[in-house]
């Protein structure tokens, strides 16, 4: 019987080695797998490369991982925010390397990894600093930059519900990077609010099919009643 | 001369957004545009983080942490709205499906180059987000900014001195003084907005030559 449900966040992340590349879902704190990140901090893996849209907000989640000095390098589109103080300090102290990637290029590089694409040409960033040193090509009337896939050893993502096959459904804008990160990592770990029986997620509403998900952890999340 | 305030600028931009348009509003000043779209005009707002059909801000206490816009503000969803993942969201942007994006700017050049993501200072932490994707993919790129810096220098310049976000991408500039169209042959005044401002004075304040009449 296939059962991808892990007993705990700690059990789901026990084998993360030092130096791993970790794709972390979320846009700000929406879809941020905070409990998985807490477990990763407790697990102790170091020298991590993190791929995430932001570089942490406030003191929890990715911000806490950076504060714990576990991140060697981060690839993201929007590190600088009013509440990115842990990243800001680490960057100014030279403790963390930043690869700034335009948001759509970041998403497509992740998607490309999951879809088996070797590289792709995008018009984004042509003529800017973020295209410097990269191969460009004129196709038709337009110039494009060559961009390469971003693969993860692990993806840590957040979804609303899952079944034991790893099928996932998301909630509102917490979906963001979840579906593409799930495709792009060797081991995708999804934290979910609810685990349901096979078939309970309408097959028409499965957003991430279980083929892209290796481990699922149920996490009780407090959500303010609407 | 009486300059427009932020809400008046937003109202002026909103006037140029037609029924049925798919629109992305950048972080900061451009988000105000949403408040000025007439109630009887259906405009569908897109946000990079994966939502179409953004509605008004929720009432206090009604915020949902899973329902935010690209500025990470709590929003609501209109009936007919949709959620999607980031690669689809940027396919909408890069693929030319967004009719208008409205962005803030540090500088715009006379050929429509935009600088809005980095001051270029060595200790500044850069952050680009979706700006470079939006300017190369949206059918029209509106810039909304104050005409002059705090020091009184024109933000419309012969060549941008800040790092570029995109080359030749801006189609219209909305400032607290005027609306200016970017055309292949240069900048063209569409409308003076500041009360009591003459074309000659606007030209004197602006860093590059303007044509007086817009071709309709």
**A155 and A110 Cβ atoms separated by less than 8 Å:** no
Q: Does B167 reach chain A within 8 Å, measured CB to CB? A: yes
Q: Residue B89: is its pLDDT beyond 90?
A: yes
Interface list for A 125-154 with B (CB within 8 A): 125-130
Reading the block at residue A50, the tokens are 């993190």
Interface list for B 102-161 with A (CB within 8 A): 113, 118, 123-133, 136-137
Give the tens place of pLDDT for each residue, A163-198. Answer: 999 999 999 999 999 999 999 999 999 999 999 999
Q: How far apart are CA A135 and CA A147, in angstroms?
A: 8
Q: Band the pLDDT of A2: cuts 50, 70, 90.
A: very high
**A69 and A90 Cβ atoms separated by less than 8 Å:** yes
Q: Residue B169: is its pLDDT beyond 60?
A: yes
How deeply is A59 buried, as exposed, middle or buried, from its count of CB atoms within 10 A (0-12, 13-18, 19+)?
Answer: exposed
Reading the block at residue B76, the tokens are 């609501």
Would you list the DSSP string of B109-140?
ETT--EE-S----TTSPP--TTHHHHHHHSSE
User: Which ipTM was obtained for this model?
Assistant: 0.95
By residue count, chain A amounts to 226
Q: Which of A69-73, B18-22, B79-83, B119-123 has the lowest mean pLDDT?
A: B119-123
Task: Give the chain A residue whose CA is nearest to the CA of B64.
Answer: A226
Q: Does B63 reach chain A within 8 Å, measured CB to CB? A: yes
Q: How far apart are CA A109 and CA A180, in angstroms?
A: 10
**B53 and B10 Cβ atoms separated by less than 8 Å:** no
Percent of chain B whose predicted confidence (pLDDT) is above 70: 98
**A57 and A85 Cβ atoms separated by less than 8 Å:** no
- Across chain B, mean pLDDT equals 96
Cβ contact B93–A102 (<8 Å):
no
Give the tens place of pLDDT for each residue, A10-60. Answer: 999 999 999 999 999 999 889 999 999 999 999 999 999 999 999 999 999
Q: How far apart are CA B139 and CA B133, in angstroms?
A: 12
Residue A212, pLDDT score: 98
CB nearest to B85's CB, from A78, A124, A176: A176
Cβ contact A30–B68 (<8 Å):
yes
Taking the CA of residue A181 and the nearest CA in chain B, the distance in Å comes to: 10
Q: Band the pLDDT of A225: cuts 50, 70, 90.
A: very low
Cβ contact A129–B163 (<8 Å):
yes
Interface test with B, best of A27, A90, A104, A117 (most B CBs within 10 A): A104
CB nearest to A176's CB, from B50, B124, B164: B50
Q: Residue A223: is its pLDDT beyond 90?
A: no
Give the tens place of pLDDT for each residue, A56-99. Answer: 999 999 999 999 999 999 999 999 989 999 999 999 999 999 99
Residue B70, pLDDT score: 94
Q: How far apart are CA A102 and CA B126, in angstroms?
A: 11
Residues in A touching B94 (Cβ below 8 Å) = 104, 108, 122-124
CB pairs under 8 A between A and B: 153
Residue B123, pLDDT score: 84
Q: Residue A119: is its pLDDT beyond 80?
A: yes
Q: How far apart are CA B60 and CA B189, in angstroms?
A: 42
Across the range B143-155, mean pLDDT stands at 97
Cβ contact B125–A80 (<8 Å):
yes
B53-61: Cβ within 8 A, 24+ apart: B53/B77, B53/B78, B53/B79, B53/B80, B53/B81, B53/B82, B54/B78, B54/B81, B55/B81
Residue A12 CB: number of other CB atoms within 10 A?
26
Taking the CA of residue A1 and the nearest CA in chain B, the distance in Å comes to: 30
Interface test with A, best of B63, B72, B88 (most A CBs within 10 A): B72
Taking the CA of residue B12 and the nearest CA in chain A, the distance in Å comes to: 29
Residue B212, pLDDT score: 86
Residues in A touching B118 (Cβ below 8 Å) = 129
Cβ contact B94–A104 (<8 Å):
yes
Q: How far apart are CA B114 and CA A42, in angstroms?
A: 44
Taking the CA of residue B165 and the nearest CA in chain A, the distance in Å comes to: 6
Active site members of B: 48
Residue in the block written with tokens 């003191």? A59
Percent of chain A whose predicted confidence (pLDDT) is above 70: 97
Max CA separation in chain B (angstroms): 52
Q: Does A107 reach chain B within 8 Å, measured CB to CB? A: yes
Q: How far apart are CA A191 and CA A179, in angstroms?
A: 13
Q: Band the pLDDT of A224: cuts 50, 70, 90.
A: very low
């Amino acid at each position: 019987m296939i059962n991808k449900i892990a007993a705990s966040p700690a059990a789901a992340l026990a084998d993360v080695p030092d130096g791993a590349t970790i794709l972390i879902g979320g846009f700000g704190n929406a879809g941020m797998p905070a409990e998985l990140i807490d477990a990763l901090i407790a697990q102790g893996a170091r020298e991590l490369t993190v791929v995430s849209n932001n570089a942490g907000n406030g003191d929890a989640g990715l911000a806490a991982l950076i504060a714990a000095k576990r991140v060697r390098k981060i690839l993201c589109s929007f590190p600088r925010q009013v509440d990115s103080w842990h990243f800001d300090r680490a960057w100014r102290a030279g403790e963390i390397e930043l690869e700034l990637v335009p948001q759509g290029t970041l998403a497509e590089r992740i998607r490309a990894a999951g879809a088996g694409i070797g590289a792709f040409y995008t018009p984004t960033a042509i003529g800017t600093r973020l295209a410097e040193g990269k191969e460009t090509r004129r196709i038709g009337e337009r110039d494009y930059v060559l961009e390469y896939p971003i693969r993860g050893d692990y993806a840590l993502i957040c979804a609303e519900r899952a079944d034991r096959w790893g099928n996932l459904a998301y909630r509102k804008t917490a979906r963001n990077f979840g579906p593409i990160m799930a495709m792009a990592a060797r081991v995708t770990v999804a934290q979910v609010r609810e685990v349901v029986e096979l078939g309970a997620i309408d097959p028409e509403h499965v957003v991430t099919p279980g083929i892209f998900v290796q481990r699922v952890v149920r996490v009780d999340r407090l959500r303010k009643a609407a | 001369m009486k300059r427009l305030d932020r809400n008046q600028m937003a109202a002026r931009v909103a006037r140029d957004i037609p029924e049925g348009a798919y629109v992305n509003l950048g972080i900061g000043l451009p988000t105000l545009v949403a408040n000025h779209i007439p109630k009887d005009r259906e405009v569908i707002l897109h946000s990079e983080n994966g939502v179409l059909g953004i509605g008004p801000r929720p009432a206090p206490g009604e915020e949902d942490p899973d329902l935010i816009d690209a500025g990470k503000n709590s929003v609501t969803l209109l009936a007919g709205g949709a959620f999607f993942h980031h690669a689809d969201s940027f396919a909408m942007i890069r693929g030319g499906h967004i009719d208008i994006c409205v962005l803030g700017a540090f500088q715009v050049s006379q050929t429509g180059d935009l600088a809005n993501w980095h001051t270029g200072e060595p200790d500044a932490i850069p952050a680009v987000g979706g700006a470079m994707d939006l300017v190369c993919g949206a059918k029209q790129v509106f810039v909304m900014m104050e005409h002059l810096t705090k020091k009184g220098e024109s933000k419309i310049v012969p060549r941008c001195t800040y790092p570029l976000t995109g080359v030749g991408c801006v189609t219209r500039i909305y400032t607290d003084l005027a609306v200016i169209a970017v055309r292949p042959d240069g900048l063209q005044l569409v409308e003076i907005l500041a009360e009591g401002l003459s074309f000659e004075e606007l030209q004197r304040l602006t860093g590059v030559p303007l044509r007086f009449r817009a071709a309709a």
